[in-house]
Structure 1
């Protein structure tokens, strides 16, 4: 099992769920840490504590940064990555809303260099759709689908070794084709406030 879990709830509000994530360490590819749609403006001790527990359990901790499909300034993205590293000890980066077009490859090459310099041993680009193949040279993992189960189940997406699928509004028996994946029951504007079905029974 290789679960990449973007769980966007505060540890003080959902301590049992964070406990379940830590306990499921052997199943996890990594956990995306997202205190405030990014690192936020100041360290959050609760997130620092769960990040330390995940690292101690051998789980990759990926700091979330929105790239707004290449529109967000380079310096703002890098500031998020450095804060994640300094405040939460992240060892990876999850760049959300990543562009998929070849015209923005140079922008994302610069972000890759900055992320690696900030200590990201794992870099995930969340395109949400299959990107230009050259993006595969930049990241360890490409999210080639993010969306609802009703859309996903009608697609025939390739499941290459460096691909990830993130599916919400998914039933307990949902079968995803990518080697790294996450299927959650949540829906609506905030589906990533729910844990994957497979963790509900641990």
Structure 2
């Protein structure tokens, strides 16, 4: 299973760079990791203007990111068009590795975009009770707030549920003013 470190979790400095390890970076600038970087673009559940989203895509291209993490993505059919346009324009700019993170199962049309999709992004307690309806093997699962003594069990559960990438971590997400303001990223990473 590929490992994807969301903005609120960081790999250990001892973890050697590996092609199956991706780290989401909040904003362009100095790299916080030697691993492959996915630049975070906040889609605000489809509420951000396409011009602002594309400005973020261009900033990540100029920064040399290996791909994009389209965070807080819409999951319903009404958001497919703008997300598809973002994915196509990212590919034209050389950003072919794209992860879509609605955090829930999406409308089936999103599957036609040819990107990886995180269909779970939530707490350990929610993950334990999650039924996985609407997901496919290979989808991403981001599970936060896992008690340290349960991390191995959480990773095993992710494997049994068919996660193709993701992370189980004892860290928890945060919300910053930059996220709510629609910036390319937020502080604290």
TM range (shorter): 0.7 to 0.9
- Pair 113,20 (structure 1): closer, same or farther in 2 beyond 3 Å: same
2:3 aligns with: 3
Deviation at 1:61, TM superposition (A): 2.0
Deviation readout 1:29-78 (Å, 9 max, x if unpaired): x221213xxx3xxxx3x32xx45x32xxxxx3211100011110111111
- What is the deviation of 1:19? 2.2
Contact 1:140-1:162 at 8 Å conserved across structures: no
Match of 1:182 in 2: 167
Uncovered stretches (5+) of structure 2, i.e. residues with no partner: 176-186
C-alpha change, 1:63 and 1:149, in structure 2 (3 Å) is same
Aligned counterparts, 1:19-98, within 5 A: 19-21=13-15, 23=16, 25=18, 28=21, 30-35=22-27, 39=28, 44=29, 46-47=30-31, 50=32, 53-54=34-35, 60-87=36-63, 89-98=64-73
| TM-score normalised over the length of structure 1 | 0.73
Distance 1:126 1:90 in 2: 17
Q: Answer 1 or 2: higher relative contact order, Cα 8 Å, separation at least 6.
A: 2
Kindly indicate which of the two structures has a greater share of residues assigned to helix.
1
Deviations 1:107-151 (A, max 9, x none): 111111111112111111101100101101114200101000101
CA offset at residue 188 of structure 1?
5.8
| Corresponding residue of 1:198 | none
Partners of 1:111 and 1:123 in 2: CA distance = 10
Q: How many residue pairs were aligned?
A: 166
Structure 1 Cα separation of the partners of residues 66 and 173 of structure 2: 30
Gap runs ≥5 in structure 1:
55-59, 194-202
